[in-house]
Copies of this chain bind each other. A is one copy, B any other.
Amino acid sequence: MPTVSSEELAAAAGVNSAKLRKDFSYLGSYGTRGVGYDVEYLVYQISRELGLTQDWPVVIVGIGNLGAALANYGGFASRGFRVAALIDADPAMAGKPVAGIPVQHADELERIIQDNGVSIGVIATPAGAAQAVCDRLVGAGVTSILNFAPTVLTVPDGVDVRKVDLSIELQILAFHEQRKAGEEAHADGAGPAAARRTGTGSDASADQGPDGDVPAVMPA
């Protein structure tokens, strides 16, 4: 299929076709009226706009379970990310290969960042070490930080931080789960295990993902 219409894409993505067209229009006029969008060209343009065609060297600091999991994660390469280095404070880790990349000691942090022109750092250390690591990353020139440690980081202006809290997604599921259970039996003491499988609770939103559908506070 060399070409695709906004209607088809919208159906596949589960959104309105007008919204899709309007969004695409911000990138420029890449469609052809009466025909649709050229798939290859469209993919390229979106990839470019999103930064997928660039090579982003990334360092991961803190090679515990989570750091190792990230180093092994396959999805990075296809999105333009390259794990430039793994860094850990434990001297015993130094030289040990994880996911085929040798772990380097934290002393080398500044040199590694500068040698590789790294602008994105991932923090997977314990909470206590996160701010210090963050400060060193920023000092060495990193301007974007992905933080897995359960701490809010303080950074100077111009540096982006995104915090990933693995338990927040669970929280959201539990919130919905609670609503499912409390649909009829509003007895407050009933544990979540009590009323499982509440028929066909047709949950309108079928999208899987962190955006949308976040449980702000809802009417009782």
Whether the Cβ atoms of A176 and B160 lie closer than 8 Å is yes
Give per-residue flags for A24-55: 1 if the beta carbon is below 8 A from chain B beta carbons, else 0.
Answer: 10111000000000000000000001110011
Q: With contacts A54-B178, A192-B119, A197-B141 known, is A167 near B79, CB below 8 A?
A: yes
Closest to A64 in B: B69
CB distance from A186 to the nearest CB of B (A): 13
Q: Is A96 positioned at the interface, with any CB of B under 8 Å from its CB?
A: no
Whether the Cβ atoms of B203 and A170 lie closer than 8 Å is no
What is the count of identical protomers in the complex?
2
Q: With contacts A69-B69, A79-B171, A144-B173 known, is A162 near B208, CB below 8 A?
A: yes
Closest to A188 in B: B48
CB distance from A54 to the nearest CB of B (A): 6
Q: Is A180 positioned at the interface, with any CB of B under 8 Å from its CB?
A: yes
Q: With contacts A208-B153, A209-B163 known, is A26 near B219, CB below 8 A?
A: yes
Q: Which residues from chain B contact A103 at a C-beta distance below 8 Å?
A: none
Whether the Cβ atoms of A81 and B203 lie closer than 8 Å is no
Q: Which residues from chain B contact A153 at a C-beta distance below 8 Å?
A: 208
User: Which of A1-9, A85-93, A210-218 contacts the other chain?
Assistant: A210-218
Whether the Cβ atoms of A193 and B65 lie closer than 8 Å is no
3 tightest Cβ-Cβ pairs between the two chains A and B: A117-B193, A65-B69, A66-B69
Q: List 12 A-B contacts (CB under 8 A).
A: A27-B220, A49-B217, A51-B174, A51-B192, A75-B165, A75-B166, A79-B167, A81-B167, A144-B176, A145-B173, A160-B203, A164-B210
User: Which A residues lie at the B interface, using CB under 8 A?
Assistant: 23-24, 26-28, 49-51, 54-58, 64-66, 68-70, 72-76, 79-81, 116-120, 122, 141, 143-147, 150, 152-153, 157-158, 160-178, 180, 191-194, 196-203, 208-211, 214-220
